[in-house]
Chains A and B, each alone.
Chain A
Amino acid sequence: MKLESNIPPGPLEKKWAYAKSHYKLVNPANKRRYDIIVVGAGLAGAAAAATLGELGYNVKCFVYHDSPRRAHSIAAQGGINAAKNYRNDGDSIYRLFYDTIKGGDYRAREGNVYRLAELSVNIIDQAVAQGVPFAREYGGALENRSFGGVQVSRTFYARGQTGQQLLLGAFQAQERQIALGTVKQYNRHEMLDLVVVDGHAKGIITRNLVTGKIEAHAADAVVLGTGGYVNVFYLSTNAKASNATAIWRAYKRGAAFGNPCYTQIHPTCIPQSGEYQSKLTLMSESLRNDGRIWVPKQQGDERAPGQIPESERDYYLERKYPSFGNLAPRDIASRAAKEACDDGRGIGASGRGVYLDFADAIKRLGRPVIEERYGNLFEMYHDITAEDPYEVPMRIYPAPHYSMGGLWVDYNLMSTVPGLYVIGEANFSDHGANRLGASALMQGLADGYFVLPVTIGDYLATQFGKKVAADRPEFAAAVADVNDRVGRLLSAKGTRSVDSYHRELGTIMWDYCGMARTADGLKKALTMIRELREQYWRDVRVTGTGEEPNQALEKAGRVADFFELAELMCVDALHREESAGGHFRAEYQTPEGEAQRNDEEFLYVAAWEYKGEGNEPVLHKEPLLYEEVKLATRSYK
């Protein structure tokens, strides 16, 4: 396997323009002869399906939900970054590029990130044109706010529902194409395998979630926009159905997996309240614009927050990182919260919580302003905890949220399997070892609207006359594989439910592959995961049959894949003997407890190649070449 990043030549700011001028094109009259499968219709998938349809391609879009608009992109709260510099505060494309590279702890590809910053401005234009109701100033112009890890105000938002509004823009554009007949929509269809013919991705195998029927679908190229994999931790901010199956199946068919251990723990989520907890609810990072994070200075202080005077409060982010304060980037803020709680100063019944306090902001700005900015977030918090953030500080704790890792892709977003493209959170490319707030929305839409529709043409132009039909033997073989897996899960007839295994796996991952990792812990985790996985296949209980709606069966397949992914994450974390961004190895930290990178030995993307059942995966290294940015210790003091 050879990793070619295919970054165009020339100066950084001209690479994308160069690439666009040199890609092969598909004649407009020929586009309708090409079939493209798009799996997933979140921001990346919907934007891609819509744009490819507008261009005239035949798109087949598959989602396991009842409608494309259920994708978890819809839940993103805080905002989307763009280098518009409307605030006149010194922002620029270069600065957004630089903030993202630095925020990623110098583990992302320069060329990709620069392009992302360039395209950020086009995304806002497109969204506004679609009718996305971004917040406005009184004069009618777009409003901005700040987000973590940056010192400019470049985030556009629509109340606390930016994800939903952006997704609706893309969803509506997609529905328009469905009406026009360029996109054929397959709802309630889950992709369970990738089909590779003569080394190229030529289709997928799906299960119809209503009838249970396993079907083969052929195409000239396959695009995966299937989201992230932090549900491997069971408790995360992801939706319940979010899973890694599509990318995992692709990995097993030859697509290298990039940096699986780079997972992001978001600092501000509502703490777990009981054993029955099904997920952790995110409280948008935008709250850190106005909220102040603190814990009591005293260990084991059980006084109500209102009774702890200012002098006895530790506003630890403001103390440790004066120039960024409460807007320190996520990995840093999460570790600081863990440190405070490990020190015995955590709040709440479990001792695993810190305060996010709006008292000062309410005093300074008045309640109506706070209500306007965060109204629905405060309501959401109140519904869940029965506590009123206008009166008492919010209780928050870090939770798994996003995966920077994902399938390896080159500059054109193509994986190591020709014809297989990966976009949005499902790919590894733009965020390095830590993603900044408000940039996931940006990346998904950049990939889906502006990058993929152009780069895919370059590949398709080489595929003219090479159409593959679903009667090829590779399809039948893949269908047989899927039937076999489904059959084994149904016939285990064991003693424990899927959820009980999922919870146990999640606890192992949180304890040993979470915010702070050690060699011993990771090795222990690997042993535990392997044992549990073996037990799972013998002992899982999946009720019902395969020929009907069966939510237990759906979960069972996804959890089976999580077991394997969990192993790869631990293997990756074990091999990376440094701390970078969201990957923190306790053995490699500065005297002040910050991440200590090892640029001498680990300045590369770790791309793992599957070598078959029971064999160790093989590591391929893509060196990271920084032409523009100077590597530095990442400091937010």
Chain B
Amino acid sequence: MNLTLLVWRQQSRESAGAFVTYTAENISPDASFLEMLDVVNEALIARNEDPIHFEHDCREGICGSCGMMINGTAHGPLGGTATCQLHMRHFQDGQDVWIEPWRARSFPVIKDLIVDRSPLDRIIQAGGYISVNTGSAVEANTLPIPKPVQELAMDAAECIQCGACVAQCPNGAAQLFTAANVSHLGLLPQGQPERQQRVLRMVEVMEEYFGSCTLFRECEAVCPKEISVDFISRMNRDYLGATMRTRKAPVTS
């Protein structure tokens, strides 16, 4: 199949960017989207042009490195897949494909389709952990955890920190990401001692960098791991409860 790609190119953070048109030729329907871009890049290198820069690594939907807006939707048309898992059989021969970096003020462009997602790590630094030093753990089976609780915590823990939720949200909010992490740890018995401080601090840092959630639910629709907005509701309840019960200790980062 052949496709017309309209790709955002931007030399650096400060430069103005623009859409550049490319043709992707003779692409197999079994190829993945990023393999298609690899093919286009090899052709660009053959013409001595700078290849399209995009972040990627595992090519199997788990590292969270890859991500682009494909025809306006984060990670493309399928839902429940990361960009690297999207295969060309879901496109039509002759189709136009618009490819842009994550659209969010909190994720400035570094080059072409690569953006800076470091605010997400800042949120984790504010409390997305359980404070237990190496060597001080109790025997693992001392703590029975009901299977439904573990399964729900696992659902939340599937987040790959790709940032699609932020990119797709009209407000540029990071609620789904933060809620996934807060919920994973807050549902488990191990996470109880720090549950209140965790949600207060993480939400504070989140609000410093990102927009506010008004439950559009676009995030859930594009999340490669299909994380539910129920976790956002859970986080909101947690946050409300925490504000009633405690004063927030200062954020250390």
Contacts and interface: CB of A to CB of B under 8 A. Distances in A.
Contact of A278 (B38, B124, B132, B252): B38
A130 B150 contact: no
Contact of B128 (A122, A175, A548): A175
Interface string B39-73: 10010111011110101111111111100000000
B117 A67 contact: yes
Contact of B134 (A69, A126, A138, A140): A126
Interface string A56-96: 00000000011101111011000000001010000000000
B147 A384 contact: no
A86 B132 contact: no
A175 B205 CA distance: 14
B157 interface: yes
Given A69-B64, A125-B137, A128-B143, A543 B125 contact: no
B6 interface: no
Contacts of B50: 543-544
Contacts of A197: none
B63 to A, nearest CB: 5
Interface string B151-179: 00110011011000000000000000000
Given A133-B150, A165-B157, A172-B129, A66 B116 contact: yes
B196 interface: no
A492 B224 CA distance: 41
B61 A380 contact: yes
B111 interface: yes
B166 to A, nearest CB: 14
Contact of A75 (B60, B134, B146, B190): B60
A449 B80 CA distance: 34
Given A67-B161, A129-B137, A551-B51, A172 B130 contact: yes
Interface residues of B, dominant DSSP: loop
B134 A497 contact: no
B145 interface: yes
Contacts of A75: 58, 60, 62-63
Central interface residue in A130, A133, A175, by most chain B CB within 10 Å: A133
A173 B129 contact: yes
Contacts of A380: 60-61, 85
A159 B153 CA distance: 12
A274 interface: yes
Chain B interface bracket (under 10, 10 to 19, 20 to 34, 35 or more)? 35 or more
A172 B128 contact: yes
B193 to A, nearest CB: 11
A133 B153 contact: yes
A164 B184 CA distance: 13
A72 B63 contact: yes
A178 B42 contact: no
A47 B114 CA distance: 28
Interface stretch (B29-37, B93-101, B215-223, B238-246): B29-37
A360 B128 CA distance: 42
A499 interface: yes
Contacts of A135: 150
A137 B144 CA distance: 9
Contacts of A7: none
A463 interface: no
Contact of B145 (A140, A279, A450): A140
Contact of A67 (B44, B48, B120, B150): B120
B249 interface: no
A137 B147 contact: yes
B214 interface: no
A625 interface: no
A336 interface: no
A168 B157 CA distance: 9
Contacts of B213: none
Chain A interface residue number, banded:
35 or more
Given A65-B65, A130-B129, A51 B141 contact: no
Given A128-B137, A141-B141, A552-B45, A133 B117 contact: no
Contacts of A385: 30
A552 to B, nearest CB: 6
A70 B140 contact: no
B137 A126 contact: yes
Interface in A125-151: 125-131, 133-142
A351 interface: no
A559 to B, nearest CB: 14
B94 to A, nearest CB: 19
Contacts of B154: 133, 158-159, 165
Nearest to A449: B134
A589 interface: no
Contacts of B153: 131, 133
A468 interface: no
A67 B85 contact: no
Contact of A453 (B59, B80, B134, B253): B134
B58 A124 contact: no
B51 A138 contact: no
B129 A175 contact: yes
A131 B114 contact: no
Nearest to B251: A179
Contacts of B60: 75, 279, 281-282, 380
A323 interface: no
Contacts of A549: 53, 110-111, 114
Contacts of B31: 274, 276
Nearest to A173: B129
B144 A139 contact: yes
Interface string A362-382: 000000000000000001100
Contacts of A66: 55, 65, 116-118
Contact of A161 (B120, B158, B185): B158
Given A75-B63, A241-B57, A279-B59, A499 B111 contact: no
B248 interface: no
15 contacts: A54-B133, A75-B63, A124-B140, A125-B138, A128-B140, A133-B157, A135-B150, A136-B145, A140-B144, A175-B125, A179-B125, A240-B58, A274-B28, A279-B60, A549-B114
Given A84-B141, A181-B252, 9 more contacts: A124-B140, A127-B140, A130-B130, A131-B153, A161-B62, A175-B129, A276-B28, A549-B110, A549-B111
